[in-house]
Structure 1
Amino acid sequence: MNAHTDLIDRYFDAWNETDAVRRRELIAATWTADADYRDPLLAGAGHDGIDAMIRAVHERFPHHTFHRTTEVDGFANRLRFSWALTTPAGEAIVKGSDFGVLDAHGRLQAVTGFLDQIPAAT
């Protein structure tokens, strides 16, 4: 694995972590203090904002997990990857692609997420 893949796997570890203390440790190791996350449904700024955003996803989708579905593609301080949010039974209910910007130390400074597949409204 390369440094970008390690970073993004840790990013997903943070998204999947339900223990608040461990999640905060993962966020601090993965994101810059002034980090920013944006997608069409969520936003979080700084470690507190990102933690609150992840906690809200856990409340809305208990026992669901995020998985990387592609290799991490990167150059310079930019990277991209795709993912799926899966139910406890393993069914992908949301799929997306994220684009990240890294700081000089290799931590995420910004992530912009795009939703590639979402459940149909009923």
Structure 2
Amino acid sequence: MNAHTDLIDRYFDAWNEADGARRRELIAATWSADADYRDPLLAGAGHDGIDAMIRAVHERFAHHTFRRTGEVDGFANRLRFSWELVTPANEVIVKGSDFGVVDPQGRLQAVTGFLDQVPGGL
């Protein structure tokens, strides 16, 4: 594993963490203080904004899990990776690809997400 893969696996640990205190610890370890996340449906800035965004996803998609699909591709401070959102019955309902910028301390400074597959009505 490389540093980018470790970082993105921790990113998904934060997305999947239901316990608020533990999720905030993961966010602090994974994201810079001035971090920014954007996709067509969500946005969050700083640790508080990212936590609120993830909490909202947990409320809408209770017991669903995000997982990385494929390898993390990266060079210098840039990376990209793909993912899917899976129901408790292990059905994939959303797929996406994200692009990130890593700060000098090895934490995410920015992530831009793109939705590759979404169900109707989302």
TM-score band, normalised by the shorter chain?
over 0.9
* Pair 1:105-2:105 in alignment: yes
Counterpart in the other structure of 2:120: 120
- How far off is 1:70 after superposition? 1.4
Large movers: runs of 4+ above 4 Å: none
1:26-62 per-position Cα deviation (integer Å, ceiling 9, x unaligned)? 0000000000000000000000000000000000000
The aligned runs of 1:8-27 (5 Å cut-off) are 8-27=8-27
Aligned residues: 122
- Which TM-score applies when normalising by structure 1? 0.98
Inter-partner Cα distance in structure 2 for 1:108 and 1:9: 12
Matched residue SS, 2:120: coil
Counterpart in the other structure of 1:89: 89
Structure 1 spans left out of the alignment, 5+ residues = none
Structure 2 spans left out of the alignment, 5+ residues = none
Q: Percent identity?
A: 85
Counterpart in the other structure of 2:64: 64
Counterpart in the other structure of 2:32: 32
Inter-partner Cα distance in structure 2 for 1:3 and 1:24: 21
1:75-110 per-position Cα deviation (integer Å, ceiling 9, x unaligned)? 000000000000001111000000000001110000
User: What is the RMSD computed on CA atoms of the aligned residues?
Assistant: 1.0
In the alignment, residue 118 of structure 1 is paired with which amino acid?
A: V
